[in-house]
Amino acid sequence: MKFGVLKDIKNGEYRVVATPAEVSILTEDGHDVYVASKAGYAAGFDDEEYEKAGATITMGNEEIWQTCDFVAKVKEIEASEYELMREGQLIYCCIHPAAHKEEVDALLEKKVIAITAEDSHRYGSPNCEAAGKAGAFMGLWSMMSTNGGSGKFVSGLGAAPGIKALVCGCGTVGKGAIEVLQTMGAWVTVADVNIGALREISAKYDGKVNTVISNKYNIAKELPTTDLVINCVRWPKNAADFMIDRKMVASMRRGSVIVDVSNDYGCIETFHETTHDDPIYIEEGVVHYCVSNIPGAIAGSASVAYAASVLPHFQSIMNEGLEKACVKNGYLRRSLTAYKGYLTHEETSGIQDRPWVQPEVILGIADKKLDPAPKTTITRSDNFYSEF
């Protein structure tokens, strides 16, 4: 198979989906690997390293779109790339389909086979860990007086106390944020709806991290004395209310900071997406850091960890075929988003009111012994295509 490593073109994105290590393994498997020039440069990998690993370097992304059967990148497909997609082409990247209707339109119109990377990780995405850890650092940076923050230092100075931080959500993202903040001396509270997850966090840090059930009442009670909020909650796209509304934000002390790692509209009322070029803004006296691709700032480490985690998916698809790969791995199967003109992603169907078909049905593997995987979200849809 001809496999292409695209150069990510999202503003402020420096990660690469495959390093020379993964390229060497795929070429050893007998595949032709193409890498766009400078695709890994910002993450610390030169074109010469990819060539030594067996890759063919192309002048840019367009040649890869034209040449390769299977293409991959880190972030979502940009509008400028829609016309480059080809019917039947395999695409693996972080599509975020439920929130990007136009992108889904293009995937279906072009009749590609698209896999949503963020739904394919059995043990949590390294990008989520990177987002949590880097997000904590960005929050501390945002708190500096030079950025409009309160000027408090994370662990305190002499008679000055350390900061109080609230981490909303203790999945992979939240755990990363908690690790950084607690290690650096912050007084951390974590809010989640899962008592078991809260118990694990408390045990891991010998009770030095406070835990509360995540609901609007408890969060509102915490905010007036909180210096830094890290939002790591994957908020339902069709939620009827905010987790943190404007009045709650206004209750925070001037110079406090909110880092919205999740970037879901509808979760924090004062949220709007920012970029690495212009990362912060102030509303209700509170500094907001809302960059949508935080891990891009630590592209070297994030690329190494992420590429290693997705390599087994690439190998399984390329060596055994998509159907067999989806039988063996339920997480890969559930992440199939579009298949030759048909939507195969339940959350997107439910949020966008589109018909869909289950991946196992359209792939013809429903009668096989399928590796199980949990649903990606609570969103459900029975809006099925009539022909299936």
Give residue 236's pLDDT: 80
pLDDT, the chain, mean: 96
> How big is the chain by its Cα radius of gyration, in Å?
22
Q: What is the pLDDT of residue 220?
A: 98
d(CA 101, CA 226): 36
Give the mean model confidence (pLDDT) for residues 42-67.
97
Which residues belong to the active site?
96, 264
* Angle formed at CA 169 by CA 166 and CA 175, multiple of 5 degrees: 85
d(CA 162, CA 227): 10
pLDDT digits 0-9 by tens, 153-201: 999 999 999 999 999 999 999 999 999 999 999 999 999 999 999 999 9
pLDDT in tens, 220-271: 999 999 999 999 998 887 788 999 999 999 999 999 999 999 998 889 999 9
How high is the pLDDT of residue 238? 75
Do 113 and 89 meet the contact criterion of CB atoms below 8 Å apart? yes
Instruction: Give the mean pLDDT of 331-352.
Output: 97
Secondary structure of residue 373 in the 3-state scheme: coil
User: What percent of the chain shows pLDDT beyond 90?
Assistant: 95
**Of the given ranges (81-90, 199-208, 232-241), which has the lowest mean pLDDT?**
232-241
**CA triplet 216, 211, 250: central angle to 5 degrees?**
35
Predicted pLDDT at 239 = 82
- Residue 330 structure tokens: 């339920």
Are 333 and 326 in contact by the 8 Å Cβ rule? The answer is yes
Q: Does pLDDT of 93 surpass 90?
A: yes
Share of residues in the chain with pLDDT > 70 (%): 100
For 204, the enclosing helix (H) or strand (E) is: helix 195-204
- Read off the pLDDT of each residue in 347-363 and give the average, rounded to a whole number: 97
pLDDT of residue 240: 82
- The pLDDT value recorded for residue 172 is 95
- Helix H or strand E segment including 4: strand 2-5
Instruction: State mean pLDDT over 123-130.
Output: 94
